[in-house]
Structure 1
């Protein structure tokens, strides 16, 4: 069945469509009429091209190309597929990855924030990270700004970190984090739900954010404007029943307007690493 899933993804079926199909039919067999029913119901205008592509695909050729590109697969029913991720709505049936997949097995904290680098975020990370990384793997999105600084701070203090891409492994965005990503692929872990050839699309980044929170036990927002992708991640974390934390910032700073508002609305204010670690310790006690 896993080979069927791989072909479906390469043919252009989205994660959402795969879940719709599985909920409707309970399997991923190759009865063409079932695919037609699914795609017709979803209003997908590329029905025929996807079906034709499905017929033309060869699994062995796909696997050979993945091996050539150094990309490995983790299927949803593999024993080392992360159990936290499997709890979320519309989890990926396949994770494409480069690096050390054992990083998926431990407790993790997602760290997100603004796309602009600030001294405040860097200072916060340097204050928190020495206490966080002995216990937690740091997850973020390999974007510029807070994402990149969180990955770098985790490694600087001897920790582990996972980068989650919003596109396939044969592409990269933004250019500013390309070197960091290459290093993490060799020494940490970089994952994606998208097939390697899938380029960056605007709508994929909010979709990717559910994996950042889904791979973690909790999400920390350091700085966030009122309209920010990091708040999308925080809201998704709440939907996934994850702990959410925010670093308070100056009331005069637009960079902290969104995160301060979330604290006002009930997110846990984080002033020190123990504000986060105490929740992880209580989970282990339970």
Structure 2
């Protein structure tokens, strides 16, 4: 990279000025439109921006060190950390739809475009039952090509990430610290696996240590990036319920695992069901909503459809037509073992390219 400032450099600079948080960045952008113009602004021009104090103007001007910014950007890249501003095509589209989205995120790993994403969150001090349930749902959803997002905290979050990895899928962890800091410490190995099979995501700069106030903030990103949120176990007042509230405000689907009315950790999940969250007792409760949602978004052209399919999925897809075909006949045509075939048909249905009719009959979708 040369020594000229590029768009992302200006964004990185703006996101790292001491004392200039989300609100002040918003005021500055409302006035100047782009970080580049804030960089070029004179003292008098900065003076025109409401709620920008004397000390802020001074800090903004003093922080303009081109070589330092470019060097910082390059150092991030050398450590396999990407900075994506809202202008970057890699910035998650879903996240832009929330009220107070961050103007930049740090990502270690790889973000996938167009894959459905489910958040699985819950209590840190969870029960063994809760841990197993989180792992099971994450594993089964991951097998269907759904990305599992969580917060890498102890308990339910950790179980969800592990389940997704066991299912051979991808998982994202949104952190309340820099993407190079492991918290909790015992998740060091897990953290590495997540960055290799998904991504670590944070709005906080590298080397930022975890602070109590960061965690409620990162919850809005978990729900913001996801298409739906599954709460596994939660006491009546908990961070998971904040995530659920934010998801509802953002217009996302909220799913909840019911529990015994005498269990403290079921108070939150049972309350969510009372308030209208979808009660989930098996994987299909989530898949049926998702296959409907994604079938409405997929392109209906067969040629385009097969581009996004794995080879084995293409074989099954090519066996089908607009005439209903029984699963045993698809098995005969494709020579794929019946167990594996069931899984592939569910994936194709989830991708919105085929439809299941009653009694195990399937057709292509137009």
Provide TM-score, normalisation by structure 1.
Answer: 0.90
In 1, are the aligned partners of 2:234 and 2:241 still within 8 Å (CA)?
A: yes
Which range is displaced more, 60-69 or 161-170? 60-69
**Map 1:19-168 → 2, pairs under 5 A:** 19-28=26-35, 29=37, 30=39, 31=41, 32-36=43-47, 38=49, 41=51, 47=56, 50-51=59-60, 53-56=62-65, 58-102=68-112, 104-133=113-142, 134-168=144-178
2:11 corresponds, among 5, 11, 19, to 5
Count the aligned residue pairs. Answer: 283
1:249 corresponds, among 259, 267, 281, to 259
User: What's the secondary structure of 2:254's corresponding residue?
Assistant: strand
User: What's the secondary structure of 1:191's corresponding residue?
Assistant: strand
Note the residue ranges of structure 2 that are not aligned, 5 or more in a row: 1-6, 297-366
- Provide the residue aligned with 2:308 in structure 1: none
Note the residue ranges of structure 1 that are not aligned, 5 or more in a row: none
Q: Give the distance between the partners of 1:238 and 1:248, measured in 2 at CA.
A: 18
User: What's the secondary structure of 2:51's corresponding residue?
Assistant: helix
**Corresponding position: 1:236 with 2:246:** yes
- Provide the residue aligned with 2:282 in structure 1: 272
In 1, are the aligned partners of 2:177 and 2:214 still within 8 Å (CA)?
A: yes
In 2, are the aligned partners of 1:36 and 1:47 still within 8 Å (CA)?
A: no
In 1, are the aligned partners of 2:121 and 2:157 still within 8 Å (CA)?
A: yes
Provide TM-score, normalisation by structure 2.
Answer: 0.72
RMSD: 2.1
2:192 corresponds, among 161, 182, 186, to 182
Relative contact order, CA 8 A, sep 6+: which one is greater? 1
Q: Give the distance between the partners of 1:206 and 1:191, measured in 2 at CA.
A: 15
Shift of 1:92: 2.1
**Map 1:169-248 → 2, pairs under 5 A:** 169-248=179-258
Shift of 1:236: 0.6
Structure number with bigger Rg: 2
Q: Give the distance between the partners of 2:222 and 2:55, measured in 1 at CA.
A: 29
